Amino acid sequence: MKNFCRFKLKNYQCSLAFIFATEEINRNPHLLPNTSLGFDLYNIERSEWEFIKEVFLWLTGMGIITPNYTYRRERKAVALLTASWLISTSGGRLLNLYKYPQLSFGHFDSILNDRGQFPYAYQAAPKDSSLSLGIISLMLHFSWTWVGLVLIDNYKGNKILSDMSGEMYRNRVCLAFVKMVQENLFCFGYSSLETVMVIKKSSANVVIIYEHRESLHCLMLCGLHIVKTWKVWVMNSKFDMSITSEPFIFDPFHGTLLFTHHHDEISDFKTFIQAYTPSKYPDDYYLNIIWNGWFNCSLSLPYCKVSGNCLPNASLELIPSNTWEMDMTEASYNIYNSVYAVAHTLHEMTVKQVQMQPHGNRERNIHPWELHPFLNKIQFKNGAGHHVALDYQMKLDEEYDILNFWNWPHGLRQNMKVGTFSSKAPHGHQLILSDHMIQWATGFSELPRSMCSESCLPGFRKSPQEWEPNCCYDCAPCPENEISNETDMDNCVKCPESHYANAQQNHCLEKAVTFLSYEDPLGKALSCMSLGCSLLTAGVFGVFVKHYHTPIVKANNRALSCILLITLTFCFLCPLLFIGHPNTVTCVLQQSTFAVLFTVALSTVLAKTITVVLAFRATVPGRMVRWLMTSRVPNFIIPICTLIQLVLCGIWLSISPPFVDPDAHTEHGHIIVVCNKGSEFAFHCVLGYLCCLAFGSYTMAYLSMNLPDTFNEAKFLTFSMLMFFCVWVTFLPVYHSTKGKVMVVMEVFAILASSAGLLGCIFAPKCYIILLRPERNSLCCMKSKAHCRIKF
């Protein structure tokens, strides 16, 4: 097998993981028994040409590159391990000619799943299909809705941008900028400084760097060393902390949040690293260089082997943790799985060959293309108990560890695990973070904020800005009777009918139920007026009963006067139905009782006016007038007119009766409980009928204007009808221009005023004569025009 790893301390651990896995397999009696797994390690500069050149040298086995020819006599390797997809794609087409299995231990890339272009490429890394969701979940957890995104300008970068943009749009996270940088960057080139300046000028305090390329890390390190941009960085991989020995350069990255695939430690790896020394592995050229650099060992030239003067008990474990990691990195873990995948494949091939040819030659050479049917289906549990598969369709969604990069104290450079993300967890429990453990970037003393616009406080809603992303908005106050009780609400919520918005418009308060009650000062006044007028009318009725046989009572039609007084007594009591908490019964009785009582009163007045006219016309010869007087036809006016009103009320109550109507809009903060008339047309018909009766009475009274002054009943009836008209003509426009309790008060006042008009105009003169001028209450005075004229 081949492992192409560029020499750096970070990459050197990859080589050690490769060696560790190979030695562990060779010690395992149950995996490839009686077979030793060998390997070659190549260190290649990071360039496409260098990789292709090394591939040719490896294939030919000599320094002379001759395609399709080999100088090797020993067995060739059967699989190739590569670090990145760039190397796989550039050299992959060449290796495809020889059908060599290529196992990539770098970050997962969907382009390598294209079996048309890369039929012999495999990936050990787990899928990262949920990484975009994990990063967006982190943004939402901290309410970061205005972020920047830096990507490599290639196929993978465009694919990531598409996936990330979709997740952001669904979760209402906006991109302040997107910077696509070229693949091969120079640390101090114009492109790198331009990228850093874009980041610096952006108002976003959070920047996502979605790439694991060293060129991009070099860009960030070198550029930010010159231009200080204190931001919160969110990355999908660790950067190589051994690039520089200057700790202050990492200050801009203090507080960085890193997403790495979760994996448990391989139990014996640390022990292997501790025991990996030049004395045990003298042929490791790079190990000798490390020993010389860190432990002041002397080297023997030209072979660069440690010759002595070393620090006692020197071990890789003594190298500072900010430079060397003892724990297995993500890349090392993938290499470990890749080596085991090849070993399991070879083991299954060997078992199958033995089953097919039990007595055949077991020393047969294995050709690289024979591994592919087995590699496509290989599945196994590694030393940490994790499921490993090379076919991407069989890979499981992995869990991510969220690390926080600490450079405090300066130069310590450690990654602390502060949370996890798992797309397999139930919704709401996918992201788990220990917020109190997070060290924020330099310049932030508390949780950083990264929003295009300031949060809209409760009582306000977001108002989108034209031509700007939906994360950029203005804050507009909620409309009347609408609230927002959370920050950054898109729309205000209308309060229920039974509630109203407070002054700050962040809470709905329950409306107070109000009505014209007896406890209300106006209700008390109207109740007292109603009862007082009713008692006064009853007193007038008592006076008429007491002086029932006197001439003044007889002259005014005693029966009709008593009926009118009794009716007026109940008319004055009618407003009591309008006071108090309305219910269905009182709502129905209010209008029907009022209509019937006033119909009786007005029909009585009409009967009195007709009686007066007929009484004075009876002296004129005419058989019809005499018949009308003798047959008492006027007495039928009251029941007939009342029956008509009863029919109208019956139709009204059967079609659309009055009902209780809570009015929640007229008065702010109150629900006014009133009686709705039901059918407005029926209500106006009832009033119209009453006005017709009043007009008829007025007409008949007007016809008797020239009657003798000693009998002035007709004039008083005329005045009473004029007052009735004035009250109700004034009432109608005022009634329709008011709402709530005032409307009820207006109707009650109209009832009391019209009833008082009838009582005062008709019965006040008679009570004056009966009580104050009893000498006028005689038959003599009734006949003597000169001496018994009533004056006021």
pLDDT score recorded for residue 514? 85
pLDDT score recorded for residue 421? 94
Q: How many angstroms separate the CA atoms of 403 and 260, rounded?
A: 8
Helix (H) / strand (E) element for 134: namely helix 131-141
SS3 content of the chain, % helix, strand, coil (to 5): 45, 15, 40
Q: How many angstroms separate the CA atoms of 42 and 257, rounded?
A: 33
- Range among 111-120, 456-465, 607-616 rated most confident: 456-465
Least confident piece of the model among 85-94, 592-601, 637-646: 85-94
Structural domain range at position 553: 521-659+677-781
99: left (phi over 0), alpha (psi -120 to 50) or beta: left
Tally of domains in the chain: 4
Question: What pTM value is reported for the model?
Answer: 0.66
pLDDT tens string 553-562: 776 677 888 8
In a domain, 146, yes or no: yes
In a domain, 299, yes or no: no
**Percent of the chain predicted with pLDDT > 70:** 81
Q: Are residue 586 and residue 732 in the same domain, yes or no?
A: yes
In a domain, 453, yes or no: no
pLDDT score recorded for residue 47? 63
pLDDT score recorded for residue 792? 31
The Cβ of residue 578 has, within 10 Å, a number of other Cβ atoms equal to: 25
Q: Are residue 496 and residue 608 in the same domain, yes or no?
A: no
| Region 365-376 average pLDDT | 86
In a domain, 301, yes or no: no
pLDDT score recorded for residue 240? 61
Q: Are residue 603 and residue 533 in the same domain, yes or no?
A: yes
pLDDT score recorded for residue 661? 84
Q: Is 709 exposed, middle or buried (0-12, 13-18, 19+ CB in 10 A)?
A: exposed
Helix (H) / strand (E) element for 18: namely helix 9-27
pLDDT score recorded for residue 616? 61
Could you list the beta-strand ranges (E) of 567-718: 659-663, 670-676
Least confident piece of the model among 143-147, 229-233, 641-645: 229-233
- Range among 191-200, 353-362, 453-462 rated most confident: 453-462
In a domain, 445, yes or no: no
Higher pLDDT, 142 or 445: 142
Alpha helix stretches (DSSP H) within 498-557: 521-546, 551-555
pLDDT tens string 445-472: 788 889 888 888 999 999 988 878 888 8
Q: Are residue 51 and residue 141 in the same domain, yes or no?
A: no
Residue 418 has pLDDT above 90, yes or no: yes
pLDDT score recorded for residue 497? 84
Select from 437, 471, 490 the last residue of a domain.
437
Q: How would residue 789 be classed by pLDDT, with cut points 50, 70 and 90? A: very low
Helix pair angle (9-27, 330-356), 10° resolution: 30
Residue 617 has pLDDT above 60, yes or no: no
Residue 113 has pLDDT above 70, yes or no: yes
| Region 538-545 average pLDDT | 87
Where residue 213 sits, what CATH number does that domain have?
Answer: 3.40.50.2300
β partners of residue 146:
174
In a domain, 28, yes or no: yes
Q: Are residue 555 and residue 629 in the same domain, yes or no?
A: yes
| Region 106-110 average pLDDT | 81
β partners of residue 493:
483
Q: Are residue 565 and residue 690 in the same domain, yes or no?
A: yes
Which residues neighbour 661 within 8 Å (Cβ) at sequence distance 6 or greater?
673, 674, 675, 676
Q: Are residue 531 and residue 649 in the same domain, yes or no?
A: yes
In a domain, 531, yes or no: yes
Where residue 692 sits, what CATH number does that domain have?
Answer: 1.20.1070.10
Higher pLDDT, 121 or 89: 121
Q: Are residue 604 and residue 706 in the same domain, yes or no?
A: yes
Q: How would residue 484 be classed by pLDDT, with cut points 50, 70 and 90? A: very high
The Cβ of residue 89 has, within 10 Å, a number of other Cβ atoms equal to: 20
Q: Is 551 exposed, middle or buried (0-12, 13-18, 19+ CB in 10 A)?
A: middle
Residue 685 has pLDDT above 80, yes or no: yes
pLDDT score recorded for residue 82? 82
Q: Are residue 632 and residue 768 in the same domain, yes or no?
A: yes
Residue 277 has pLDDT above 50, yes or no: yes
Q: Are residue 592 and residue 529 in the same domain, yes or no?
A: yes
Q: Are residue 122 and residue 216 in the same domain, yes or no?
A: no
In a domain, 624, yes or no: yes
Q: Are residue 638 and residue 703 in the same domain, yes or no?
A: yes
Average pLDDT, the chain: 80
pLDDT tens string 341-355: 999 999 998 888 888
pLDDT score recorded for residue 791? 37
pLDDT score recorded for residue 188? 52
791: left (phi over 0), alpha (psi -120 to 50) or beta: beta
Residue 317 has pLDDT above 80, yes or no: yes
Residue 46 has pLDDT above 80, yes or no: no
